[in-house]
Structure 1
Amino acid sequence: MHILVIDGAHVEAEFREKFGPSHEYRFINTQHEEPSEWPLIEQAIAGAVPVAGVAFCFGQTDRHSHSYRLLEKSASPVFVENLKESLSEMRWEAMNGSPAMHFFGFCGLPTLLNRTLLEVSLYHEADRTKLAEICAALGTDYRVVEDRVGLVTPRVICQIINEACFTLQEGTASMQDIDLGMKLGTNYPRGPFAWANAIGVERVYAVLEALWHDTHDERYKVCPLLKRQALRGEPFAV
């Protein structure tokens, strides 16, 4: 299968490992490009869309751009990393206007993509059959979760990281002790600070901010320490 990936360069190795070498991949970046580069980018997407069996869209690509309009006209299923908005909030034109289009949300955060189950959400309940078909073609099991900001696993992991930041900020334990305690006590593959670095502190902050604005639940109120690290673009010194 031809797989088109928009703005997924940060997880390219994990993406290829997840779906394997039997597929053909095309990675196209639209972020941080000069305006003069956009015609070439859109040309590349226009050429890739007709042959793509499925498209995955990461990050903050402007869904109002001409590039996304090209995806909306595609007959191929489109998976959107909906960590900051639910599919219902995105409201792409094709979601409401093209019964031939199939849109799904998915969890694409670094370290959370290459798992046994692909975590996905539905925009239309009728798309369950199509989802089963495309995941079979991709060679992955999957789990459908509620169409909510942050899906499920990102909510849990980012909340744990946030609580660890509060613990460190209050002087209860050191960063190294918190990481070691979580690994030994819960058998997590990483401690919360090492996990934040692997995901990207800025991404963790962005998910929590979106959850806070969506729910106003105190569990997702961002720790000042985490916010500072994210705004400075600095990883934790683990």
Structure 2
Amino acid sequence: MTDDARYVARQANGPEDLRRAEMLRAARFGRADGADRDAFDARCAHLLVEERATGRLVCCCRLLFLSGGGEIAQSYSAQFYDLGPLARFEGRMAEIGRFCIAPDRPDPDILRVAWAALTRLVDARGIAMLFGCSSFAGVRAEAYLDSFAVLRARHLAPRDWGPRIKAPSVYRFAERLQRYRPDPREAMRLMPPLLRSYLAMGGRVSDHAVIDRDLGTLHVFTGLEVGAIPDRRKRALRALPG
């Protein structure tokens, strides 16, 4: 368990906790039926961040643990990206998915508490890589050109594990924005909070965004090799309260 004065993080325990997470996800992704669920939920551990005073769920995500790159085809991300290069990755992996913060609670402490809990899970399980799909709201790539241009210039995955195109509908920002000059401030303002956290730790992204009309998002594959996180950043994460 990880906590601060206002929020507490814990793993889900039972179907009621999962139902609450699915309802928060539905609110985040605009699901009209009031719940967001799929077959991956049963295979994942689910992390909840709750408001201490009220018990209200303000953040959730799910984690799929893999013994190594040989299991990468079993991941949610593999539905949308050709992850063949990562099949050679040696070391335990964890896919972080469906990361949601309550739409009316843009409190940075929520993200901090979530990362404190994730850090402890990574350490406890000896995870060597974190990965997942980092989502931008909406499906209009034009709204995020500055962000995509910064990702292209600074944060593309290396060739030895960068994912290839698989989804039928994508925006090839690395190819299309070669001459685009981004506004760095605007780029970071529009960058999803989870993706900003990944990038601050050395995370890398795919060279294209998948247009996911089912969830109403654009997402980029994001990978973070735990061993490449700067030592100062590791110490800061491990020093978070918990």
- TM bracket (short chain): under 0.3
TM-score using structure 1 length? 0.27
Higher relative contact order (CA 8 A, sep 6+): 2
Higher strand fraction (1 or 2):
2
Higher helix fraction (1 or 2):
1
Q: Which has the larger radius of gyration?
A: 1
